[in-house]
């Protein structure tokens, strides 16, 4: 499927891998792909801007979610452990951000896609077929995420659309007809 990706779509996937590595993730989620799309140019970025979505805010929210250490404060609290206190003490003893550094293990080599991300990519292919395109561009990736109902990336994208006072239909139109948005 990747051989059908345009350079913008490939760039978004490469950026997703970079975001996953930076966050210390063991796999690439559809949220990583959405960050790549929001931070990139191309049709996806133009479509988000055309419907009034703040691309930088979307990327920043997702990056913050993805950079969480993976330590579950609620689960630790149920054991009587105050994560905030542990974090403060680790910072005092080992320096600022010590706990985060200890929990983030950088991966080398291939980072696999989660089933969620694979589904978004498959839905992007379906979007390309629907549009009669022989290529999958970054706009198709964005619409694939939008079609992946219930995924964390779809929920974030839908929240962002609602906050901008728009909806999925407007985004689909902006992706499918970018020339109409430019006028």
Nearest of 105, 155, 118 to residue 33 by alpha carbon: 118
pLDDT digits over 9-34, tens only? Answer: 999 999 999 999 888 888 999 999 99
Query: What is d(CA 181, CA 173) in angstroms, rounded to the nearest whole number?
Result: 9
Residues 148 and 64 placed together within one structural domain of the fold? yes
Q: What is the pLDDT of residue 86?
A: 80
Q: What is the pLDDT of residue 67?
A: 77
What the block records as the tokens of 159 is 């929240």
Q: What is the pLDDT of residue 108?
A: 60
CATH code at position 27: 1.10.1780.10
Last residue of a domain, one of 103, 123, 153: 103
Residues 165 and 131 placed together within one structural domain of the fold? yes
Residue recorded with tokens 């629907």 = 130
pLDDT digits over 137-151, tens only? Answer: 999 999 999 999 999
Q: What is the pTM of this model?
A: 0.80
Residues spanned by the domain of 43: 2-68+112-182
Q: What is the pLDDT of residue 64?
A: 87
Average pLDDT by consecutive 10-residue portion of the chain (183 residues)? 89 94 89 96 93 96 78 69 80 77 60 96 96 95 97 96 96 89 53
φ, ψ of residue 132 to 5 degrees: the values are 75, 25
Q: What is the pLDDT of residue 105?
A: 53
Total number of domains in the chain: 2
Residues 32 and 92 placed together within one structural domain of the fold? no
Query: What is d(CA 183, CA 178) in angstroms, rounded to the nearest whole number?
Result: 9
Q: In three state form, how does the secondary structure of 22-50 look?
A: HHCCCCECHHHHHHHHHHCCHHHHHHHHH
């Amino acid at each position: 499927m990747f051989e059908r990706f345009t350079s913008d779509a490939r760039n978004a996937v490469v950026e997703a891998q970079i975001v996953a590595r930076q966050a210390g993730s063991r796999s690439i989620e559809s949220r990583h792909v959405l960050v790549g799309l929001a931070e990139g140019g191309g049709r996806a970025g133009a479509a988000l801007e055309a419907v009034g979505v703040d691309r930088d805010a979307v990327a920043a929210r997702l990056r913050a979610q993805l950079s969480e250490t993976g330590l579950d404060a609620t689960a630790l609290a149920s054991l009587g452990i105050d994560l905030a206190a542990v974090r403060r003490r680790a910072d005092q003893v080992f320096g600022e951000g010590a706990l985060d550094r200890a929990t983030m293990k950088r991966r080398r080599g291939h980072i696999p896609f989660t089933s969620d991300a694979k589904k978004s990519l498959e839905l992007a292919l379906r979007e390309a077929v629907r549009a009669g395109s022989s290529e999958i561009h970054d706009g198709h990736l964005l619409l694939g995420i939008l079609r992946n109902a219930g995924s964390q990336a779809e929920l974030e994208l839908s929240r962002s659309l609602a906050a901008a006072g728009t909806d999925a239909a407007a985004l689909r139109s902006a992706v499918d007809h970018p020339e109409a948005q430019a006028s």
